[in-house]
Amino acid sequence: MIAGDQSQKFSYELFATDGLARSGQLTTAHGTIQTPAFMPVGTAATVKAMFADTVRSTGADVVLGNTYHLMLRPTAERIHRLGGLHAFMNWPHPILTDSGGFQVMSLAKLRKITEEGVSFQSHIDGSSHLLTPERSMEIQGLLGSDIQMAFDECTPFPCEKKQAESSMELSMRWAERSKDAFSGSPGQAIFGIVQGSVHEDLRTRSIKALVDIDFPGYAIGGLAVGEGQEEMLRVLDFTVPMMPQDRPRYLMGVGTPQDLLESCARGVDMFDCVMPTRSGRHGQAFTRYGKLNLSNAGFADDAEPLDSQSSCPAANSYSRAYYHHLFKSKEILGAMLLSWANIHYYQELMRGIRVAVKSGTFNDFAAKTRENWDRGLV
């Protein structure tokens, strides 16, 4: 049994700003989260191809679990009987769970949305389910996550503005029901999710509605769904400044290292994305000098490590030629090592941003980081 300190109140403290970039700290029942923070995605109670201790060794303070996947298999009720998600996955540190709204949109079959919630068939076995704001909060409560997300509809992109407006308004009604259904202890919190697609007036209305409900933190949803980085950043330019300064801001499902850097420059505090581990399973490395596709024949005789400057053993102790061999041979070790190296790089980037904000050198750090990416390794 891994028990958190349920007497510890959830809180957010803003340590420093540099321009719009921020550095702070979240306090939860299972420990603190330094921000800006990247959350490795543990969809099914595991960060794919990684041991929990290895994830922690990269500097990760928090991981993400997925309500949709865990409600289907092994079920939230079973995880609860086995001591909760922290104990189940041997991660005694903070966990954020999403509401299941995005996966219902992207994975579920025969989906039907009503005011009550979303009825759908499981993509695993075709079984029928109804996910409502109340059921989503019940599931997240059974899992015992430190940060729980309000249930929302992830607005598709592209869509007509009228559809985006209707979707946003439904999500705001669901947000209020989610807050009412949230029964967390002092060390836990529920975040509201800003919707409104790419429309400034809809995002404005969404933020006002969520602030009126009064959440301890706010997420930006409905981005990284096909609109492209330029449009995403345009939306952040008008969305983030409207969000409360004294609450954490979480950009859901984002993204590349470039996405993270540019979003931090706009005042975002938290991120999650499957990209570092998904790429790691398919031979793509993220490094301080850009991306490498290690399946390319050009690496077959490359004796250099991924990054000799990295403190991560997966990045500094194995040659690119060895990685090339592992992926060409379809060896599991390739996915394990490269997922480790990628998650470590993401955490290294977050550490660098935090230090730069606190020292008032964020613009210089960002410029140097972009220069290194542009220069590349090869």
Catalytic residues: 98, 272
Judged by phi (left if over 0) then psi (alpha if -120 to 50, else beta), residue 376 lies in: left
Who contacts 168 (Cβ-Cβ below 8 Å, separation ≥6)? 155, 195, 196, 197, 202, 205, 206
Residue type, 296: N
Who contacts 299 (Cβ-Cβ below 8 Å, separation ≥6)? 292, 320, 321, 323, 324
Q: What span, in angstroms and rounded, lies between the C-alpha atoms of 159 and 266?
A: 26
The answer to whether the beta carbons of residues 204 and 194 sit under 8 Å apart is no
- C-alpha atoms less than 13 angstroms from C-alpha of 255 in its C-beta half-sphere: 22
Phi, psi values for residue 263, rounded to 5°: -75, -40
Find residue 18's DSSP bridge partners. Answer: 21
Q: 239-260 in b/e burial notation, b at 16+ Cβ within 10 A?
A: bbeebeeebbbbbbbbbbbebb
